[in-house]
Amino acid sequence: MTGNGAIPKTISSASDLTGLILEVREYTKWYNQYANASRVGAPYQIAQPELSPTASRLIRDWASQTPMSSKSLDELVAQLEHTKVHAPVITITLAAPATSEVKAQLVAWCRANLSPDILVTFRFNATILGGMVVRYGSTIYDWSFRRTILNERHRFAEVLQRV
């Protein structure tokens, strides 16, 4: 997809990827109409669709490797859709909404250490108090502060007595 075949850094979740696919499809539709009008010498008055910086960069990178054509843009959309269906997906739940910096760091770590095409969905749940809960399929890894307290509840009363 990008120059190295990876998902763009700014795309972290399946919903982000869906938005990107919709943008590229819209651009492909416009490009097909523009190319057809140019082929027959007819003027084409419809402006190019507004693209996000991510979609624009993706299409530009794609065009630098493959000559721009309707077929090549359809291939890009097909690759994006294939990635959406087949990429591994994890859900990370934090105690508060993740900032864009935290999201970027966690996604970068997941792509470097787990899979270069992993999609990461972020959720928040204040009841976990801190830490994180990671879900992959039916497997859940609970590194929350709440879980730690519940696992050590016999010691928790002892610690409170010392305070």
Of the candidates 89, 96, 61, the residue with the CA atom closest to the CA atom of residue 76: 61
Per-residue pLDDT 10s for the chain (163 aa) are 554 557 898 999 999 999 999 999 999 999 999 988 888 888 888 889 999 999 999 999 999 999 999 999 999 999 999 999 999 999 999 999 999 999 999 999 999 999 999 999 999 999 999 999 999 999 999 999 888 888 887 777 777 777 7
Query: Structure pTM?
Result: 0.82
70-86 vs 53-65: helix crossing angle, rounded to 10: 120
Which residues, in sequence order, are CB contacts of 75 under 8 Å at separation 6+? 66
Three-class secondary structure of residue 113 per DSSP: helix
Contact between residue 119 and residue 92 where contact means Cβ atoms under 8 Å apart:
no
